[in-house]
Amino acid sequence: MGVPDCIAIDGPAASGKSTIANKLAEKIGYLYFDTGIMYRAVTWMALRHEIPFEDETGVSTLAKNVPIDVKPPSVEDGRDYDIFVEGEDITWKIRLPEVDHNVSVVSVYPGVRAALTAQQRRIGLQGQVVMVGRDIGTVVLPEAELKIYLDASPEERAHRRHQERLERGEKANFEEILENVRRRDKIDSTREVAPLKAAEDAVIINTDNLTIEDVLAEVEKLIDQFKRGK
């Protein structure tokens, strides 16, 4: 048998999930799907519609009723995909600090999670997908044949996020980013529904001292093991 049909990659903020998953998907010809963009899109919609983040019903209704369109990139500005909501290109807006700061609060709401998880599961079950998030191996696709949990220290992750921002030409403050990473870790891992945690059958990779190429090599080794085991 070949490559696992569904590959789940979970882990905390800026642990390198998206980069690894994107490269891996390209290599094996799978769809790369980052579920974080959906939580970010809902957060952006709440800002746009001036719905307070504390308004659980209002935010959950948005998640349920407003479609999030994810398509192949139409602009060459470093994006991996186009994200449109209500006709607006929000691909970069979902990376703004206001979104970063509030996305974990929005992600706690069971109504938001139910709406987004259903869409993610539908995409995942079509197979040949590398899906990235916090709860893919535990909730969205527990049947994924290969589950990976990427971790790194908060300092290392904040350093990576800081670099990303600077590379995009944005202003960035390391201490603020570190504080936000810690805060999001706490909210994400202590929420009641689908908290951030490694699935029991996930392989945990600590990426603190690893380059992207190192991590990719580890993941490819796991895929080879999977192939041999079948």
* Cα 44 to the center of its chain, rounded Å: 15
Residue number, 186 or 227, with CB nearest to ligand CDP: 186
> Binding to ligand CDP by residue 104, rule CB under 6 A?
yes
Calculated CA dihedral for residues 155, 157, 163, 168, nearest 10 degrees: -140
> By CB under 6 A, is residue 156 in contact with ligand CDP?
no
Residue 171 CB contacts under 8 Å (≥ 6 apart), including other chains: 165
Q: Are strands 69-71 and 82-85 parallel, antiparallel or unpaired?
A: antiparallel
- Whole-number Å distance between alpha carbons of 89 and 85: 7
Residue 149 engages ligand CDP in binding (rule: CB under 6 A): no
SS3 state of residue 52? coil
Least CB distance to ligand CDP at residue 171 (A): 18
Q: Which of 8, 20, 25, 40 binds ligand CDP (CB under 6 A)?
A: 40
36 is a contact residue toward ligand CDP (CB under 6 A): yes
Q: Which of 3, 7, 8, 13 binds ligand CDP (CB under 6 A)?
A: 13
Residue ranges in contact with ligand CDP by CB under 6 A:
13-14, 18, 35-36, 39-40, 103-104, 107, 133-135, 184, 188
